[in-house]
Amino acid sequence: MDWIEALILGIIQGLTEFLPVSSSGHLEIGKAILGVKATDSLVFTVVVHGATVLSTIVVFRKEIWELIRGFFRFQMNEETHYIFKIAVSMIPVGIVGLFFKDEVEALFTGNLLLVGLMLILTAALLAFTYYAKTRDKNISYKDAFIIGVAQAIAVIPGISRSGSTISTGLLLGNNKEKTARFSFLMVLIPIIGANIKDLLDGSMVATENISSTVLIVGFLAAFISGLLACSWMINIVKKGKLIYFAVYCLIVGSVAVGYALMN
């Protein structure tokens, strides 16, 4: 992988992490088009995911600070309940990460047929939200767990994490803006934890196949594009325009399936 490929893939990651079109699926498609080897891509994928986490922290810095301040008042206030709900949402993906890590990593081998089919599934899920009736209610602990299940399923490349979690929240009747905010905040700790784990076990060390320059370029590209996409996505959810992304996922998924079947 060279720095130009890293720049392209970083921008793809930053934009698609927050837009409901599956960042992992688009990364796999991008890698297949650019001819990036699977052995080169795991470390890079972890790095660009870390970059989008940082962009999330920057966009939601005020909300995160308020949650931290409220939590350390050591009272069962609104902020404490919110953090506990995020913790509940992490249970399903934590189980997947602990017991099915190898199986998940085996999916990231450039299987465009799988990616295409899962993008079509994402399109169907987004289309259902067009008919969802939302209310101005807070996300419950039950809702948080169900949204967490959607996040765990979204480890499959082609299923959009933001698309599945936001769609699930809306189908449960939650407020659009609150659902988008919860979707973006709930992913912070799992990805940060995964990055720390990979750092400690040596997975983040650049190998002879991928240079530090490539990782830095990819990180910066994903961070900057992530800043733009995160703010944009919040407005999109407020306006209820996810149906356009359903059409997009259907088209891209169909093209990916067609390409995979012809090769």
Reported as a single tens digit per residue, the pLDDT across 100-121 is 877 777 776 767 888 889 999 9
Predicted local distance difference test score (pLDDT) of residue 199: 63
Predicted local distance difference test score (pLDDT) of residue 149: 95
Confidence of residue 223 (pLDDT cuts 50, 70, 90): very high
Domain of 47, in residue numbers: 3-262
Region 2-21 average pLDDT: 83
Residue 244: C-alpha distances to residues 41, 167, 173 (Å): 30, 13, 20
Predicted local distance difference test score (pLDDT) of residue 201: 63
| Cβ-based neighbour number of residue 103 at 10 Å | 10
What's the rounded Cα separation, in Å, for the pair 59 and 57?
6
Reported as a single tens digit per residue, the pLDDT across 69-84 is 998 988 888 999 999 9
Residue 181: C-alpha distances to residues 10, 28, 57, 154, 211 (Å): 23, 27, 12, 18, 35
Q: Is the pLDDT of residue 4 over 90?
A: no
Predicted local distance difference test score (pLDDT) of residue 225: 92
Predicted local distance difference test score (pLDDT) of residue 87: 94
Q: What percent of the residues of the chain are helix, what percent strand, and what percent coil, each to the nearest 5?
A: 75, 0, 25
Confidence of residue 208 (pLDDT cuts 50, 70, 90): very low
Structure tokens that stand for 236 in this block: 């999109």
